[in-house]
Amino acid sequence: MRIHEDLLYKELCYEIIGCAYDTFKDVGVGFDEVRYHKIFNLYLQNKGLNPKYKVPFQLFYRGECIANFEIDEIVDDKIVVELKCIQTDFIPENYAQMMSYLKATKLRLGLLLNFGLHKAYPKRVIFDEKRTDKYERWDDSFFKNVSIDKLIDSTIEAICQVDNELGAGYHDKIYKSALAIELKQNSIAYNDKVCIAATHNNIQFKPFQIDYWLVHESFLLGVLAGNNKPRTYDLFRMRTYLKNLDLNYGLIAFWSTKNLQIYGISEL
């Protein structure tokens, strides 16, 4: 019988959360993350929960290191614990970071702890390796008069190779590092420091650097990752960037926690 995800390591998780509550009660409101973390680690040790503090971890792609992690805590070789001290609820980047740690360590349960509010807030994060099929969506005009078909195809092949090697579930920085290696292997030139200069109503603005790449001076490429699908915001800003750079085509490679999604955007 399958154990319900919420019950995975139930007792151990409760013990860890109890240590977080005790830490917050001991330290109080308004301190830095380091103070909370060191006291929290002492509570874990005193409870005999076998914590590992500040665990280093490296991830390699084609023999090159693409990520150096330092995981806050791994408890009893079962649960990854990541501490935050922020004055908001957890943000998407926090979940993406945790999913990357879980995937890299091949553990299933993570626990985010926030000590930055008026009490300690925990959030369980489950990682499931189960994959769904690749998803593609193309603008109707994308394949009309495309003069860079081979370049588009080669870039998509590189993206799919990264997906084959890494799978879903990592942070976008990891996919960018891996794809940079793959593009270089395939002699596909790209610029990852693209700037847009703009003047509006005779007001001159300094160049604005975007996080999308310019491939072979021909089209923009966005490399993103998240939970389910790209934000509508990311699709719309691609169109804005294309217009400002006088380009016709953009690709977005988005890794969810389940699959690779490719979006073709055309400004024709």
DSSP string of 92-142, one letter each residue: HHHHHHHHHHHHHHT-SEEEEEE-SSSS-EEEEEE--------EEEE-TTT
* CATH number for the segment(s) 5-126: 3.90.320.10
Question: Residues of the chain whose pLDDT is less than 50?
Answer: 1-5
Predicted local distance difference test score (pLDDT) of residue 212: 98
Predicted local distance difference test score (pLDDT) of residue 231: 92
Question: Which phi and psi (to 5°) does residue 106 adopt?
Answer: 60, 35
Predicted local distance difference test score (pLDDT) of residue 162: 97
- Following DSSP, what letter does each residue of 66-103 receive, concatenated? EEEEEEEEEETTTEEEEEE--SSS--HHHHHHHHHHHH
Residues 6+ apart with CB under 8 A from 110: 79, 80, 81, 82, 98, 99, 101, 102, 124, 125, 126, 127
Predicted local distance difference test score (pLDDT) of residue 6: 53
Q: Where in the chain is the domain with CATH 3.90.320.10?
A: 5-126
